[in-house]
Amino acid sequence: MQNLDFGQFNSPPSPLRHIDPRVKILTVVVLSILIFPATPGVIVMISLFMGLVILISRVRMQDLGRALQPIAVFAVLLFLMHLFFTEGRDIFSIPLLPVHITYEGLENGFFVVWQFAALVTAAALLTITTPPSALVAALEKLLRPLKMMRVPTQDLAVMVSMALRFVPTFSEEYNRMKTARLARGEDLRGKGLFRKVKTAISIVVPLILSAFRRADDLAAAMEARGYARGPRTTLRELRMTGRDFAALAVTASFAGLTIMIRCRDF
Structure confidence at residue 115 as a pLDDT band (50, 70, 90) = confident
147 domain-assigned: no
Closest CA relative to residue 118, chosen from 6, 180, 32: 32
Check whether residue 206 and residue 225 sit in a common domain. Answer: yes
Q: 96-127 as b/e, with b when 16 or more CB fall inside 10 Å?
A: eeeebbbeebbebbeeebbbbbbbbbbbbbbb
- In the predicted model, is pLDDT for residue 253 greater than 90? yes
Check whether residue 221 and residue 115 sit in a common domain. Answer: no
Average pLDDT over residues 99-109: 81
Q: Give the integer Cα–Cα distance in Å for 148 and 124.
A: 31
Average pLDDT over residues 115-119: 88
Per-residue model confidence (pLDDT) at position 3: 45
pTM of model > 0.85 = no
203 domain-assigned: yes
Among the residue ranges 18-27, 34-43, 67-76, 193-202, the one predicted with the least confidence is: 193-202
Check whether residue 74 and residue 178 sit in a common domain. Answer: no
Looking at the chain, list the stretches that DSSP marks H as alpha helix, in order from N- to C-terminal side: 21-35, 40-57, 61-68, 72-85, 103-128, 132-142, 153-183, 193-224, 242-265
Structure confidence at residue 24 as a pLDDT band (50, 70, 90) = very high
Closest CA relative to residue 139, chosen from 32, 25, 225, 215: 25
251 domain-assigned: yes
138 domain-assigned: no
Average pLDDT for the chain: 80
Q: Give the integer Cα–Cα distance in Å for 38 and 45.
A: 10
Q: List Cα–Cα distances, 128 to 28, 134, 160, in angstroms.
A: 13, 12, 15
Check whether residue 221 and residue 257 sit in a common domain. Answer: no
Secondary structure (3-state) at 99: strand
Q: List Cα–Cα distances, 192 to 98, 195, 198, 199, 229, in angstroms.
A: 22, 5, 10, 11, 50
Check whether residue 24 and residue 126 sit in a common domain. Answer: yes
Check whether residue 86 and residue 172 sit in a common domain. Answer: no
Structure confidence at residue 1 as a pLDDT band (50, 70, 90) = very low
Check whether residue 24 and residue 110 sit in a common domain. Answer: yes
Check whether residue 43 and residue 118 sit in a common domain. Answer: yes
pLDDT, tens digit (0-9, with 9 covering 90-100), for 163-214: 767 777 777 787 788 788 778 777 666 555 566 667 777 777 888 888 888 8
80 domain-assigned: yes
136 domain-assigned: no
Structure confidence at residue 7 as a pLDDT band (50, 70, 90) = low
Per-residue model confidence (pLDDT) at position 2: 45
CA dihedral 254, 141, 120, 1 (to 10 degrees): 100
Check whether residue 61 and residue 189 sit in a common domain. Answer: no
Check whether residue 87 and residue 109 sit in a common domain. Answer: yes
129 CB-near residues (< 8 Å, 6+ apart)? 9, 11, 14, 16, 17, 24, 57, 59
What are the backbone angles phi and psi of residue 94, rounded to the nearest 5°?
-90, 120
Domain count, the chain: 2
Amino acid at 245: F
Check whether residue 83 and residue 173 sit in a common domain. Answer: no
Q: Which domain holds residue 112?
A: 1-131+238-266
Host H or E run for residue 90:
strand 90-94
137 within 8 A of 234, measured Cβ to Cβ? yes
141 domain-assigned: no
Check whether residue 224 and residue 242 sit in a common domain. Answer: no
146 domain-assigned: no
